[in-house]
Structure 1
């Protein structure tokens, strides 16, 4: 499978926004929590309070994992400053459009930071039209992709 084809499948599955599980770890202490994620520019973006434990973990160890409905992603998180300081305020506009209630309730201009996650390795679980399960593996560092059928009986 070509990398570009697999990458297109990834972003189509994730769409514009999702509630995703984010795993981070510091000093062998892992944590998982849900985040409201917005997808654009080939990255996963979310906001959080700069005073949260999550933020301190991301600063100490930017290696994270994200998961949503069969899409498992490993990546690197980057703190991108305050949400209101992003050039063009793209995240803020999309967040308001897709997650209005959360935007309205949890927007604190002076403490809300923007985090982006750049994918490094992705595993997608899916099935074909005959309900045969398969996996797609995307390696963003090598720009390679592989599709493997899962649990398909061999003919012969």
Structure 2
């Protein structure tokens, strides 16, 4: 997939809406060779998905070994709106709390007082974190109106061909 095709998909209004959500599902291959898919907070900086985790998170050694990842950002309504992204995870150890971590948790429903308490707790717990950045190398937006999963697109095409025959 070409960078301009990816940019076109990610710049669509629905994609921008999905990229402003709190959680993505990060899929990667664990060190034992089995797949993992975990929910993780993220932020979109306009070019990369950024996630942060503790320096001792088990996923880090797996991502160092195999940085290929897939991300799913979706809604909880029917039909779902789904943004699928693939890329490679780049890891950066950061002293203190990365700004992105505080931003990505900014849309959770917290009172101002709860936010102050949460930030104090985070700062007391972590002496540093790892920033996981993924530059999209592939993207697909599925809205079940103008775009469908590829298997469903194939079935729709086959049905149309049968009806014409």
TM-score by length of 2: 0.66
Hey, what does 1:112 align to over in structure 2? 129
Hey, what does 2:85 align to over in structure 1? 73
Hey, what does 2:25 align to over in structure 1? 21
Note the alpha carbon deviations across 1:43-77, whole angstroms, 9 max, x for none. Answer: 11111011111111111111111112221111110
1:94 aligns with 2:124: no
Q: Which has the higher contact order (CA 8 A, sep 6+)?
A: 2
| CA pair 18-85 structure 1, distance change in 2 beyond 3 A | closer
| CA pair 22-76 structure 1, distance change in 2 beyond 3 A | same
Q: What are the equivalent positions in structure 2 for 1:1-156 lying under 5 Å apart? A: 3=5, 4-9=7-12, 11-25=15-29, 26-69=31-74, 70-82=82-94, 84=96, 89=99, 91-95=100-104, 97-99=106-108, 104=119, 105-107=121-123, 108-128=125-145, 134-135=147-148, 151=156, 154=160
- Provide the rounded CA distance (Å) in 2 between the counterparts of 1:6 and 1:30: 26
Superposed CA RMSD in Å reads 3.1
Q: What is the count of residue pairs matched by the alignment? A: 138
CA deviation after TM superposition for structure 1 residue 27, in Å: 4.8
User: Tell me, which stretches of 5 or more residues in structure 2 are unaligned?
Assistant: 75-81
More helix by share: 2
**Structure possessing the higher radius of gyration over alpha carbons:** 2
